[in-house]
Amino acid sequence: MLTRDRLRLIRRRLVQVAPVIVLATFIVFGLQQLVPGDIAVTLAGDNATDARIAEIRALYGLDRPFLAQYGHWLWGVLHGDLGKSLLSGEVVLDSIFRRFPVSLLIVGCALALSLAIGIPLGILAATRPGSRVDAFVTSIASLGVALPNFWLAMLLVATFALNWTIFPATGAKPLSAGLGPALLHAALPSIALAAGAIAEVARQLRSSLVEVLSSQYVRTLHAKGLSPAAILWRHGLKNVSVNLLTVIGLVFNRLLGATVVIEAVFAIPGIGSMVVHAAIHKDFPVIQGVVLALVLIVIALNLLIDVLYTVFDPRIGQK
Amino acid sequence: MPTFRRRDFLASAAGLALAGPALAQKKGGVLKVSANANPSSLDPATGGSGSDHSYLYPIFDTLIDFEPATLKALPGLAESWSNPDPTTLVLNIRAGVTFHDGTPLDAAAVKFNLDRARSDPRSNIKGDLATVDSVEASGPQQVTLKLKQPDSALLLILSDRAGMMSSPKAVQELGKDYDRKPVGAGPMKFVSWNDNEKVTYARHDRYWKPGQPLLDGLEMNVIPEINTALRAVVAGQNDFVYFLSPQQKPLVERAKNLTAVSGPTLYCVIVFLNFAKPPLDNLKVRQALNYATDRESFAKATMAGLSEVATTVLPKAHWAYDPALADFYRYDPDKAKALLAEAGHKDGLELHLIGYTDQRQQQRQEVLQEMWRKAGVKLRFSTFNIPEGSAAFFSKAEGNGLVSQWTGRPDPSLTFTLLYGKGSYFNAGRQEATPEIAKSLAESRASADIEARKKAFSVLQKQVLEQALSVPLLFQFELDAHNNRVKGFQPNLLGKPRFNGVWLDG
């Protein structure tokens, strides 16, 4: 599995990780300086004087120059210390380890749903291009992309949690609480999140599969007398799998971003609600920690996809 | 479905004694609450947000307690108190009370807490105890406070953050970490706090009040989005939700398993004015604004009827309220115009106000804009989030006014001193209003006798109204909803729910 080419690919990617992390966190840190707002005002409480606010600023080191603050943070990261929330004093690493699994469960379920539904729909449409089935799938897919997911989320809650109390309306349970309760809580948010992704997967798969199925070599295969099913499964899908991997990567990143809204609707204690709260109050250790974790996840996923590319298409990576 | 008003509550509380076994209190169960914001800290001395109190009350008993409906002082951890002279307050601390970690709550512990609140660099409540000169343990269970000047407001200040007693041992051992590991002497022990998720509590078995607490535990689930917070209760994930918006009342009434609780609070929607800066340094302009305000319509438009119209900053139920002042500024746009003309603004004037960005606040700003336009006052708004907007107006003296709210203080002296006192943070111009008001402010704190204080407050409120130092609009009603299993909840005038005495039925 891990051939020399793949190891080289992985090594090359790992070298890129450090600069990407520094760049991403530095940009986010810089953006926070540009946005108006001052966490010291929030920390100083309801009726703070200017003197008190200045005192707080000194107490938390917020009066130091921009680069010194960033450097201090980065130095901590190199020593495995992401710091503590300025607002509440919670250890950032603890929050990340508690909250990321919650979000990843929902995103994972949504991704699984979008593949389980999107792929069959895409195949159905691609094998009958121009038919009524195709038109139906295409219009459903357009609808799925156009629907705002928070609106869908509220419809789902009203119907399946408040009207028929099948699913809980709010909250999340970790996998450690048992697969059943965890999935029950994740069901509605995942469906709301998946709607757009299902459409995305179906549309992308359809268009690339249509292209492959109308290519010269497929015509040759037909002429050879191979059954349409064999052509589709053995030749067609194999050739679109690289495209599909790209779509999965993009969809995953999008889902990770979309949880911000979904978590607010379902009161899910994941990264979305964490980063929103932190961003509003400019709680920079928390924002930086989340950005760092997100960058790592995205890099890891992209690396995995790159390695998989070489599995599905051996030409990639052989330079 | 049934809607509870405070009046009904008092009636049913009176009935409770007669009803006997039918309403027998039950032990056990964990109350799950939808709470609106992550606490700023669970250390009463270092926190700074008004929404922390509901998280703090279960952990911390206060030296002085208060009557929920009127905010009169009641014995708390201090079972009695006296003023041997106007600048001395003696507190007799209840014997036999221990903190959750077993540390005895004695005079030394109280002195430790009060000194810490006055001097710790991280304390946000130094100002609350500014009139305290020294704190002495004058006996094993007796503490004597020497004051710089007479201050009868101090008693109720000790029912707030400053009166919440922390275990000295825990504070000393934990240092900064005490923010997240509080140890008090209240009915519930702190168990855990996950940021923006939940705070959990367990029963304190050796609580000093016999038979209390009835609950085994409490879970405060942080859900900032109020519609989601209510849904969690409708669907049964949580039992109780507070700080609902008036627009949600029909939703609560439609849900058969829910009871709505509402009652007036000190929470006053108000336009703060910078009366040191032109054009609002002119009394006639300030009076014109008050006459140009149709409070009834404002309340109807923005609060769906769930509010009480405000002329002064104390609601009807408050002990220091003076009914004679209720109609001081009756809506009269013509009079407003005339006053503006007298002040030299015959063709109207433009004011620059600061406001906040959220939807409810924007609506208030729009209604106000339209209302004052009729009297010839044009409003231009700059909007910010709450801490930024408040800082712009109060510390940087930007704008002529701020459309905001006054969340109230346990003692009315504090409210008036903070709002209208010379140099106070909430007095954006920092200027003395009038010498008479300064004198009345001092007088309102001078006597410990409640009748004498009532009279002092009538005089003070009238002077503030005559000077039109701000434009109070309305008192927001507290709107809470809980499922029908929740019993014994009593709303309070502070509008910060306390779950003491609550039990779960069935």
Q: Which residues contact A33 (CB under 8 A, 6 or more apart)?
A: A66
Q: Is the pLDDT of residue B4 over 70?
A: no
* Residue A97 to residue A103: CA distance in whole angstroms: 11
Looking at domain B59-174, what is its CATH homologous superfamily? Dipeptide-binding Protein; Domain 1 (3.90.76.10)
The string of pLDDT tens digits covering residues B212-229 is 999 999 999 999 888 899
B121 with A87: Cβ contact below 8 A:
no
Point out the least confidently predicted range of A77-86, B3-12, B18-27, B497-506: B3-12
Strand stretches in B385-499, DSSP E: 401-406, 470-483, 486-487
Within its chain, how far is the Cα of B86 from the centroid? 26
CB contact under 8 A, B407 and A42: no
* Cβ pairs bridging A and B (under 8 Å): 119
Residue B120 carries which DSSP code? -
> Would you say how long chain A is, in residues?
319
pLDDT higher than threshold 70 for residue B3: no
Q: Where in chain B is the domain with CATH 3.10.105.10?
A: 268-476
Whether residue B8 is predicted with pLDDT greater than 80 in this model: the reply is: no
> DSSP labels for A25-87?
HHHHHHHHHHSS--HHHHHT-TT--HHHHHHHHHHTTTTS-HHHHHHHHHHHHHTT---B-TT
Alpha carbon distance B236, A169 (integer Å): 8
Between B182 and B476, the higher pLDDT residue: B182
Question: Do A46 and B404 contact (CB within 8 A), yes or no?
Answer: no
Tokens of B179: 């923010």
Nearest CA distance, A7 vs chain B (angstrom): 40
The answer to whether A150 and A265 are in contact (CB under 8 A) is: yes
pLDDT digit string, tens, across residues A227-265: 888 888 888 888 888 888 999 999 999 999 888 889 988
Residues A294-310 have pLDDT tens digits of: 888 988 888 888 888 88
pLDDT in tens, B432-475: 889 999 999 988 888 888 889 999 999 999 999 999 999 999 99
pLDDT value at residue A318: 62
Q: Is the ipTM of this complex over 0.85?
A: no
| Cβ–Cβ contact B194 with A under 8 A | yes
CA distance B394 to chain A (A): 9
Per-residue tokens: B191: 């168990």
Give the CATH superfamily of B1-36+187-265+482-506. Answer: Periplasmic binding protein-like II (3.40.190.10)
Q: How far apart are CA B118 and CA B124, in angstroms?
A: 9
Report how far Cα A173 is from the mean position of its chain's Cα atoms. Answer: 19
Give the number of residues written for chain B.
506
Mean pLDDT of A216-231: 87
Task: Report the alpha-carbon distance of residue B71 to residue B410 in Å, rounded.
Answer: 7
- For the record, the structure tokens of A34 come out as 């540009």
How many CB atoms within 10 Å of residue B361? 20
- As to burial, measured by CB atoms within 10 angstroms (0-12 exposed, 13-18 middle, 19+ buried), residue A19 is exposed
Burial B394-414 (b: 16+ CB within 10 A, else e): beeebbbbbbbbbbbbbbbbb
> Does residue B32 register a pLDDT over 60?
yes
* Distance between B414 CA and the closest CA of chain A, angstroms: 12
Distance from CA of A63 to the nearest CA of B (A): 17
The whole-number pLDDT of residue B293 equals: 95
Least confident of A161-170, B15-24, B71-80: B15-24
Question: Residues B151-193: pLDDT tens digits?
Answer: 888 999 999 999 999 999 999 999 989 999 999 999 999 999 9
Give the pair of three-digit tokens for residue B396.
Answer: 């940087």
* Contact between residue B275 and residue B397 where contact means Cβ atoms under 8 Å apart: no
Which B residues in the span 428-467 are in contact with A, Cβ-Cβ below 8 Å? none
Mean pLDDT of A174-203: 90
pLDDT digits (tens, 9 = 90+) for A78-122: 898 999 998 888 999 999 999 999 999 999 999 999 999 999 999
Please name each of the domains of chain A with its CATH number: 4-78 (no CATH), 95-310 (1.10.3720.10)
CA distance B315 to B72: 14
Query: Which residues of chain B are in CATH 3.40.190.10 domains?
Result: 1-36+187-265+482-506
pLDDT at B382: 93
pLDDT band at B21 (very low <50, low <70, confident <90, very high): very low
Does the beta-carbon distance from A37 to B385 stay under 8 Å?
Answer: yes
pLDDT of residue B14: 40
Residue B317's CB is within 10 A of a number of other CB atoms, namely 18
Q: Is the CB of B48 inside 8 Å of chain A's CB atoms?
A: yes
Q: Is B119 in CB contact (< 8 Å) with chain A?
A: no
- Mean pLDDT lowest for which of B116-130, B268-282, B364-378? B116-130
pLDDT band at residue A225 using 50, 70 and 90 as cut-offs: confident
- Mean pLDDT over residues B144-152, rounded? 92
Of A42, A266, A273, the CB nearest to B387: A42
Write out residues 284-323 of B within 8 Å (CB-CB) of A.
none
With an 8 Å Cβ cutoff, the interface of chain A facing chain B consists of 36-38, 41-50, 52-53, 55, 59, 85, 87-90, 95, 98, 157, 161-162, 165, 168-171, 264-267, 269, 273-274, 277, 280
Cβ atoms < 10 Å from Cβ of B450: 12
The CATH code that applies to domain B268-476 is 3.10.105.10
Interface test with B, best of A39, A47, A52 (most B CBs within 10 A): A47
**CA dist., res. B268 & res. B367, Å (int):** 17
- B19 pLDDT higher than 60: no
Return the pLDDT at A28. Answer: 87
Q: Residue A87: which of B40, B222, B385 has the nearest Cβ?
A: B40
In sequence order, the β-bridge partners of residue B250 are none
Q: Residue A47's pLDDT is what? A: 64
Q: A41–B391: do the CB atoms touch at under 8 Å?
A: yes
State phi, psi for B199 to the nearest 5 degrees: -120, 130
Token output for A105? 């469960």
> Cα dist. A177→A142, A151, A187, B222 in Å?
37, 29, 15, 20
Q: How far apart are CA B319 and CA B306, in angstroms?
A: 21
Token output for B419: 């709002």
What is the longest distance spanned by two Cα atoms in chain B? 70
Angle, CA of B365, B368 and B369, to the nearest 5°: 85
Q: Is B268 helix (H, G, I), strand (E, B) or coil?
A: strand
Instruction: Yes or no: say if B480 and B260 are a contact pair by the CB < 8 Å rule.
Output: yes
pLDDT tens digits along A11-22: 888 888 888 888
Instruction: Give the percent of chain A with pLDDT over 90.
Output: 27
Q: What is the mean pLDDT of residues B285-291?
A: 95
User: What is the model's pLDDT at position B486?
Assistant: 94
Record: contact A267-B385, CB cut-off 8 A? no
pLDDT given at position B105: 96
Q: Look up tokens 């006798």; give the residue.
A: B449
What is the residue-wise DSSP string for B153-216? THHHHTTSGGGBPPPHHHHHHHGGGGGGS---SSSEEEEEEETTTEEEEEE-TT-SSTT----S
- The position carrying tokens 């990264």 is A271
Q: Do A38 and B391 touch (CB under 8 A)?
A: yes
Which of B434, B502, B505 is closest to B468 using CA atoms?
B434
Give the model confidence (pLDDT) of A268-281 as tens digits. Answer: 999 988 888 888 88
Closest CA to A53 of B140, B265, B48, B501: B48
> Is the pLDDT confidence value at B17 over 60?
no
Q: CATH 3.90.76.10 residue ranges in chain B? A: 59-174
Distances B171 to A105, B146, B166, B182 between C-alpha atoms, Å:
38, 25, 7, 8
Out of A45, A52, A88, closest to residue B195 by CB: A88
For residue range B236-261, list pLDDT tens digits in order.
Answer: 899 999 989 888 888 898 888 899 99
Look at A88 and B40 and tell me if their CB atoms are within 8 Å: yes
| Predicted confidence (pLDDT) per residue in B362-402, tens digit | 999 999 999 999 999 999 999 987 777 888 898 888 999 99
